[in-house]
Amino acid sequence: MNVNQRIKNLEVPSGKIDVVIDTDAYNEIDDQFAISYLLKSKDKLNTVAIYAAPFLNTKSESPEDGMEKSYDEIFRLLNLMDESVPVFKGSRNYLENESTPVLSDAARDLAKRCEKYSPENPLYIVAIGAITNVASALLLNPKLKENTVLVWLGGHGIHFHDTKEFNMRQDFAAARVVMNGAMPFVQLPCMGVVSSFAISKPELEFWLKGKNPLADYLAQNTIDTAESYAGATAWTRVIWDVTAVAWLLNDGNRFMASKIINTPLPTYEGQYEENPEGLPMRYVYHIKRDELMTDLIQKLLK
């Protein structure tokens, strides 16, 4: 892919596009909002597949268990929306190194699916978990470099003191594969950028609770999760993953601001280092919280 085509593919797409989403849907409460927002944006975004991503924290016993729970959560959301989309199980573990893929149905599907696309008509990948599935697909089929655009919610802001963000630190090897792999790449950094996109209990109760089965599930799931650790104190919850979908809808920079930079490389110690061979990428540095929240709520109430 030449530089001009790469820069073009780093712009917000025009017209209707095909999208896959790679999600650790059971990990937190934000993936559910992102999946719903994607499927409620059919006028521009055609969702052709959903991939379950691995995760390991207090909500899972292993990366495989996290992936399986995410797979089930995806179907819970599809049922609430009365939607039908192909869903594929993803990686059962993280990359052991930067050259060996983790084989899964998701990685195989993405590696095969990208063959239908081209630099002029790319497949858009929204990734909102550990990037293992996408890195594995890239290792299986280098044509992902030419035929896809990756939009990833991962890492922290380049001004932040480290980049030990959950999605990135789970699989630093996979992050290095995609960020050093020549894929057109859009980054939504977490702390210092997307951390501003938060919602409160009063907003959830006013805008969503009781409005429809999907909105009620999203609101109650968020409230229950937040109050399980916040108790009676004031709280907000960042619904991070929505912003990765919103990039594809960011016509006229209505939801966020970004710039082109050379792609840095995350180290295994959780820092960014300059990459002399880094290609141009799109870096989001500001979220227009109220504008995006308004669009999200309007679509969830459809």
Give pLDDT, residue 138: 98
188 and 156 part of one domain: yes
pLDDT average, residue stretch 63-75: 98
| Cα separation, 25 vs 174, whole angstroms | 19
188 and 101 part of one domain: yes
Q: Tell whether the model's pLDDT for residue 1 goes beyond 90.
A: no
The length of the chain, given as a count of residues: 302
Give pLDDT, residue 182: 87
Report the percent of the chain where pLDDT is more than 70: 99
Q: Tell whether the model's pLDDT for residue 277 goes beyond 90.
A: no
**Residue 151 domain-assigned?**
yes
Express each pLDDT in 214-266 by its tens digit: 999 999 999 999 998 877 688 999 999 999 999 999 999 999 999 999 999 99
Cα 256 to chain centroid, rounded: 15
Among candidate residues 238, 264, 294, the one where a domain is terminated: 238
12, 246 contact by CB (below 8 A): no
Q: What is the pTM of this model?
A: 0.97
Express each pLDDT in 94-108 by its tens digit: 999 999 999 999 999
Q: What residues make up the domain containing 184?
A: 3-197+239-285
122 and 227 part of one domain: no
Q: Tell whether the model's pLDDT for residue 135 goes beyond 80.
A: yes
210 and 271 part of one domain: no
Give pLDDT, residue 141: 98
Concatenating the DSSP letter of every residue in 64-98 gives HHHHHHHHHHHHHHHHHHT----EE---SS--SSS
| 256-to-218, 242, 253, 288, 299 alpha-carbon distances in Å | 23, 12, 5, 5, 18
160 and 80 part of one domain: yes
Express each pLDDT in 156-167 by its tens digit: 999 999 999 999
Q: Tell whether the model's pLDDT for residue 87 goes beyond 90.
A: yes
**Residue 272 domain-assigned?**
yes
**Residue 233 domain-assigned?**
yes
Round the average pLDDT of the chain to a whole number and report it: 96
192 and 168 part of one domain: yes
**Residue 17 domain-assigned?**
yes
Closest by alpha carbon to 191, among 216, 164, 151, 224? 164
Number of domains in the chain: 2
